Structure 1
Amino acid sequence: MIQRVQSIFLLLITACMIITIFLPNWQEVSGQDAVTTTALKMVHLKAGAEVSSRGIWYIAALAAIAAGLALFSLFSFKNRVLQMGLGAINALIMAGVLGLMVYFTREAETIIPNHEGSFQTGTYLPMAAMICNIIANRFIRKDEKLVRSADRMR
């Protein structure tokens, strides 16, 4: 049923990954120079004017896939083994999102030398989604154990 505890965590995963697409991941400001990365693009601004922009939509695509998988897993409540498999795949996809974020952050750091940027909210949401994924998988596994033990008693 959709009223189970893991459903809340699967919805949280979906929300976190969708919000990740729109929030900034990393930002570096130095005087009039600024570099910002989101899940869609990396933008270099100088005195408020855009100097360069690079599309990094791969992050947004993976985040959307992770959100879709979590939503599909939510409605696959009758097949708990499939749910556990989808959770494992989703963990790999979310790790890919984080890996790409770190890769493009390191690349963006080279634009303005000798200054450090800071991670923004968009970076922490996939981490929260991964924790929610672990918790959801734990509850799915617990339900599967309960059903199997009830079948043994019959």
Structure 2
Amino acid sequence: MIQRIQTIYLLLTFAISAILFFLFPLWTLENGKVVYFMESHLYTILLGLSTMLSVMSIISFKKRQNQFVMNRLNMIINLSLLGLFVYHSLNLSGETPAVSEKGIGMFLPIVAIVLLVLANRAIKKDEDLVKSADRLR
């Protein structure tokens, strides 16, 4: 259902994990080489999982509990992706952290996590509303 706010949050999360990582680099090396997420298979797999979970969560709008769990799993994937980005950027071979330039693509998982938290809050609010309506019956 597109009219629910959590669907909008999940569509934005999908856009971040499916589209924006292609546009924004993760970091730039001191020799001027721009590094995107496609350089590593692990980054590609984790972003694919995140995108897939976002789509599955959008499709399963009738099962709010499953949607909630999928969003939590997506948050864990994005946290691990962010951790890998930070670890790799701090351990670039032969560089100090001040030399390489961090790109905006490295911080996109943070935005995705915030959107997933907002979606889970909206799902919880819907679930509470349904439970309160069931009590009145």
* TM-score past 0.5 threshold: yes
- 1:61 to 1:20, Cα distance in 2 relative to 1, 3 A: farther
* 2:125 aligned residue: 142
CA contact (8 A) 1:20 1:126 kept: no
Please list, as runs of the form range in 1=range in 2, the aligned pairs for 1:45-60 lying within 5 A after superposition.
56-60=40-44
CA distance, structure 2, for counterparts of residue 78 and residue 114 of structure 1: 46
User: How much is the aligned-residue C-alpha RMSD, in angstroms?
Assistant: 1.7
C-alpha distance after superposition, 1:70-94 (max 9, x if no partner): 1110111100010110111010000
* 1:44 aligned residue: none
Amino acid at match of 1:105: S
* 1:26 aligned residue: 27
Cα shift at 1:20:
4.6
* 1:46 aligned residue: none
CA distance, structure 1, for counterparts of residue 97 and residue 58 of structure 2: 46
CA distance, structure 1, for counterparts of residue 99 and residue 73 of structure 2: 34
Higher strand fraction: Structure 1 or Structure 2? 1
CA distance, structure 2, for counterparts of residue 17 and residue 106 of structure 1: 23
Instruction: Report the TM-score when normalising by structure 2.
Output: 0.90
Whose Rg is larger? 1
Number of aligned positions between the proteins: 136
Identity of aligned residues (%): 35
CA contact (8 A) 1:20 1:123 kept: no
Gaps of 5+ in 1: 42-55
Cα shift at 1:37:
2.5
CA contact (8 A) 1:20 1:63 kept: no
CA contact (8 A) 1:25 1:37 kept: yes
CA contact (8 A) 1:19 1:122 kept: no
1:89 alignment partner, one of 45, 57, 73: 73
The answer to whether 1:103 aligns with 2:87 is: yes
* 1:52 aligned residue: none
Cα shift at 1:105:
1.1
Gaps of 5+ in 2: none
Higher helix fraction: Structure 1 or Structure 2? 2
CA contact (8 A) 1:28 1:115 kept: no
CA distance, structure 2, for counterparts of residue 60 and residue 78 of structure 1: 29
Instruction: Report the TM-score when normalising by structure 1.
Output: 0.81
CA contact (8 A) 2:28 2:100 kept: yes
